[in-house]
Amino acid sequence: MEYREYRTKDKSEWGDGPWQQEPDKIQFTDEATGLPCLIVRGPSGALCGYVGIAKGHQDFEKHYDAVPVECHWGLTFSDFCAETGDESKHICHRPEPGEPDHVWWLGFDCAHSGDHCPKYDRDLQTLGTYRTVAYVKRQIASIASQLAERA
């Protein structure tokens, strides 16, 4: 899957922080497993991470609660690509020829207790820890590794 970055959010009222320089969505392939991955900024300004699995994987179409994967506050999402016309803002990807289009996304979010959500916490920047793109990529790599072991 081709690496892509999207910048779609108006962050002008969020205050200073790493989110100002970060993209709002990134699609990439996990190098170690070959699994498709997404980072998508949620409505709170916090980042969410996703790993896609294809039909034939034992966790394909399973609810996230049924998938024994460890990550930041646990999995909180499982579904197919969002059926929208705008891939830049949603949980969906643009696969290369020969790559699966119909994948099951498993994901987590960084908008829990102790996490800083820049859209809502702009006046309370000492409240919680902002989880950066680098942090989310590390979590995604761990999820991808765990899912590859379960394939």
Strand positions, DSSP E, the chain: 4-6, 25-29, 36-41, 47-53, 77-79, 104-109
The tally of domains found in the chain comes to 1
Residue 127: per-residue pLDDT: 76
pLDDT at 8 over 70: yes
CB 131 within 8 A of CB 119: no
Q: Which domain holds residue 62?
A: 4-14+22-150
Task: Convert the pLDDT of each residue in 44-53 to its tens digit.
Answer: 999 999 999 9
Distance of alpha carbon 118 from alpha carbon 123, whole angstroms: 9
Residue 124: per-residue pLDDT: 65
Distance of alpha carbon 116 from alpha carbon 104, whole angstroms: 28
pLDDT at 123 over 70: no
User: What's phi and psi for 130, nearest 5 deg?
Assistant: -75, 130
